[in-house]
Structure 1
């Protein structure tokens, strides 16, 4: 009887070790699941980078930026860098200020589409942001980047 109990325990422990080993080896052989951001297949068109920049039209040290000033900025700074095209939207920004009050500001959103991993386009975008902040005394220009399927 003691021998049967020993064999039973031995088989049980051996079975557990074997099961555990097989489970681990199965995990090691499986490829990790791809990240959804790495797998981006387009049904139509091709994957392109999309950047949206948000420009505030208010100034703390003066009057709001006028439509003529904005259009001059687009004509002189944005269009020469993105001749293939761009889109501008009127927007209204809103955020919670440090004082706990809601702050609102007229804004413009600039949508740019360009080849993914295009370092030249990224440099142009950063230059546009820097020029706007300097020219119009802004603390920041928000940038939101994503990948999109684009077809013309």
Structure 2
């Protein structure tokens, strides 16, 4: 899982559309955003419909500014040294500019665990400046 997270974060950093803000100030034409990335795994391959319903019911109401779902690629070795079937999904969530989003992120994780019986990994990268 960590390898996937590092790969995705590396790709985002190299994309050229985001920069790390200096002291919270972005260059002209850019806006500062914060994101959370949730790496979702399950004991079985989740259908696109199951993921869409989960996002619609649990994620979007908590984070209405933006959610993107990505396929992370081929199976990976989980923390318990077993191969995870299917391709884990990655949710990229745009966090509100103000306030603490931790409780809402944890609520999403708890809902995912309750619905699919499996955990998730959360990565909270630093804020970035993005072109708009």
User: Using the alignment, how far apart are the partners of 2:23 and 2:69 within structure 1?
Assistant: 30
Q: Which has the higher helix share?
A: 1
What TM-score comes out, normalization by structure 2 length? 0.67
Flag structure 2 segments of 5+ consecutive residues without an equivalent: 1-19
Question: Does residue 143 in structure 1 map to residue 122 in structure 2?
Answer: yes
Runs of 4+ in 1 over 4 A off after TM superposition: 96-99
State the distance in 2 between where 1:52 and 1:96 align.
17
CA deviations over 1:27-46 (Å, ceiling 9, x no partner): xxxxxxxxx99745422423
Q: Unpaired segments of 5 or more residues in structure 1?
A: 1-35
Looking at structure 1, the residues matched to 63 and 24 of structure 2 have their Cα atoms a distance apart, in angstroms, of 25
| RMSD (Å), alpha carbons | 2.6
Residue 95 (structure 1) aligns with? 77
Greater RCO structure (CA 8 Å; 6+ sep): 2
Q: How does 1:3-152 map to 2 (within 5 A)?
A: 39=23, 41-43=25-27, 44-56=29-41, 58-59=42-43, 63-92=44-73, 93-95=75-77, 98=80, 103-105=83-85, 106-116=87-97, 118-119=99-100, 121-138=101-118, 140-146=119-125, 147-152=127-132
SS in 2 for 1:64: coil
